[in-house]
Amino acid sequence: MKFATWNVNSLAVRLPQLLDWLAANPVDAVVLQETKLSDDKFPQAEIEAAGYHVAFHGQKTYNGVALLTRGHLAEKVVKNIPNHGDDQARLIAGTLGNIRIIGGYFPNGQAPDSDKFVYKMKWLDALREWLRAELAEHPQLVLMGDFNIAPEDRDVYDPVAWAGQIHCTPEERAHFQGLLGLGLHDAFRLFEQPPKSWSWWDYRELRFRKNQGLRIDHILVSDALKSRVTACTIDKLPRKNERPSDHAPVVVELALA
């Protein structure tokens, strides 16, 4: 069983790349971020024609998330964090078999002294409290998405330059550790990985060509799933496309129960 997360940075632009990627990588579920489409513009028919059911929660211009599942419709779909007032479309969850799948586009935060950082902290607080309840109800749970947090210095191409900057602040990293504290595990770090593994590279300054990026897209698995995880990889191939997203997909593989 394979699950993936991908920040596509506009599904309107990246739909052909998504369909190509799914044809080459027939995962059981994928969560998308930054679809940047209101629900009336979502390409549901094209995705269904590719063999995927889809639930989506979007808005015009910014944000927007989707959950694609192959073969089965996701059940008990939730859009955004319940009981957390939010006018930004940033979260979608659904159940596939016995596994709760949550896809999130975590707030960027812009700068540590900004209002957007305050919003990010509140969003992370609400996420943690809701996840605590979700985990109690669904012990087999996967949390995937664009976290906009580089958990450790080894997730940053230049940790000195990025020290204290957005994605690398102690507050953001404490939140990431807080999620692990709920009984979640960073699937990527369950395995030996190449050094300088990133999931995002700035479009500017030839960052991809120089392999200077951040690892900010993550897949966390619950205690109950940890022993089933057999691999977790970042697929850099789509970043080599013409007109790529600035993020690469992250994929996790689980042994059948």
Q: 189: which 2 tokens?
A: 């770090």
**Taking the complex as a whole, how short is the minimal distance between the CB of residue 253 and DNA, in angstroms?**
25
Return residues touching DNA (CB under 7 A): 7, 9-10, 12-13, 34, 36, 60-62, 107-108, 110-111, 116, 146, 148, 166-167, 200, 202-205, 214, 216, 243, 246-247
| Cα distance from N-terminal residue to C-terminal residue, the chain | 10
The nearer residue to DNA, 100 or 120, going by C-beta atoms, is: 120
Q: Nearest approach, Cβ of 33 to DNA (angstroms)?
A: 7
Half-sphere exposure of 97 (CA within 13 A, CB side): 12
Q: Please, what is the minimum distance in Å from the beta carbon of residue 9 to DNA?
A: 5
Distance CA 127, CA 179 (A): 9
The whole-angstrom separation of Cα 154 and Cα 173 is: 13
Is the CB of 54 or the CB of 216 nearer to DNA? 216
Smallest distance, DNA to C-beta of residue 217, A: 9
Cβ atoms of 79 and 7 within 8 Å: the answer is: no
The Cα–Cα gap between 166 and 210 comes to 21
Nearer to DNA, 70 or 119 (CB): 119
Q: Token match 């129960």: residue? A: 257
Is residue 62 left, alpha or beta, with left meaning phi > 0 and alpha meaning psi from -120 to 50? beta
Cβ closest to DNA, residue 7 vs residue 69: 7
Q: Which residues are catalytic?
A: 105, 146
At 161 the three-state DSSP class reads: helix
